[in-house]
Structure 1
Amino acid sequence: MESLLYHGYSVWGHAILQQADILQPERYAASGTITLSGKLVESSGILAYFDTEEEAQHAGLDWARAWIDSLR
């Protein structure tokens, strides 16, 4: 999980390991969360699937920043 502050909000990018079978390569589901003063503002659900944890986290952060930008 990766987080940062963006226009006063805390935004989180999540990478959720998805591995149905040990013989399949690891994949990561991306999601994002936005909080303000410790309270949940919005969460994305699954956005997409990625090959790396870092890609998934960045997708979640990108979604959160775009959601906040849509309010401005």
Structure 2
Amino acid sequence: MQSAFYKSYSIWGHAIPEGDRYAASGTITRESKVVDASGVLGYFTAEEDAQMAGLAWARAWIDRHNGS
């Protein structure tokens, strides 16, 4: 799991092992409360790629919902 701060939110990129690949997902929190979480965003052969996809989803969600 990788985490970052983005526009006053904490964001998380997850890589969920599924056999020889990783399912990507993302989570957004603010003030210790979950704001939103994705479903499976796609499958990747590299753990880091799945985590980065989750972080990218979270940044895009924040941009869409905050008029940026």
Q: Normalised by the shorter chain, which TM-score bucket?
A: over 0.9
Q: Which residue of 1 aligns with 2:4?
A: 4
Structure 2 stretches lacking a partner, 5+ long: none
Runs of 4+ in 1 over 3 A off after TM superposition: none
Q: Deviations 1:35-72 (Å, cap 9, x if unpaired)?
A: 00000000001000000000000000000000000022
Using the size of structure 2 for normalisation, the TM-score is 0.95
Identity across aligned pairs (percent)? 61
> Which structure has the greater CA radius of gyration?
1
| Structure 2 CA distance for aligned equivalents of residues 15 and 37 of structure 1 | 23
Using the size of structure 1 for normalisation, the TM-score is 0.90
Structure 1 stretches lacking a partner, 5+ long: 20-25
Q: Which residue of 2 aligns with 1:63?
A: 57
Residue-pair matches, total: 66
**Structure ranking higher in helix proportion:** 2
RMSD over equivalenced CA pairs, Å:
0.4
